[in-house]
Amino acid sequence: MSSNKQFKIQNGVGITGTVEVGGNLVIDSDGSVTTNELSVNGNSVVTGSLISSKKTNITATSMTIAKGTHLYVSASGQTITLPVSPSIGDSAHITVGDFADTVISRNGSNIMGLAEDFTMDAACLSINFTFTDTSKGWAMS
């Protein structure tokens, strides 16, 4: 655990195995865990709620979204490029404003099994892209 991270355990909640935290990890007495980035190696059980918040960026220009972030697109006519060389489980969340013309560039990976870019063609749409494998590529939810 890095010395510049906050790690807080209250009322005897125990953790075994390796826990890597980017940001803050708080485990309260009721078993709830709050973090903005958590990776657990080995067998782990979380009793209570696990809340993971992604960093949100706002853009009015075309750009490449970083893995594990949320991007709010505030201007129409933009192209957002998905991360290059994703691994299974990588995700990127994109939300658009009151317009229906944001293009999601696949950056070499399929989107929903298709080798095509995707247009977010509804206003105020929010989609989470999760990389599943090299065949299906990015799944949307």
pTM greater than 0.85 (yes/no) = no
CA end-to-end span of the chain: 33
pLDDT score of 132: 97
The number of residues making up the chain comes to 141
In 44-123, which ranges are continuous DSSP H helix?
none
Residue ranges of domains in the chain, CATH in brackets: 6-52 (no CATH), 55-140 (2.60.120.640)
Residue type, 141: S
- Closest alpha carbon to 35 in 19, 22, 46: 22
Which of 45-54, 70-79, 128-137 has the lowest average pLDDT? 45-54
The whole-number pLDDT of residue 53 equals 56
Closest to 14 (Cα-Cα) out of 40, 42, 46, 37: 46
Reported as a single tens digit per residue, the pLDDT across 14-30 is 454 445 544 555 554 44
Q: Does residue 89 surpass a pLDDT of 80?
A: yes
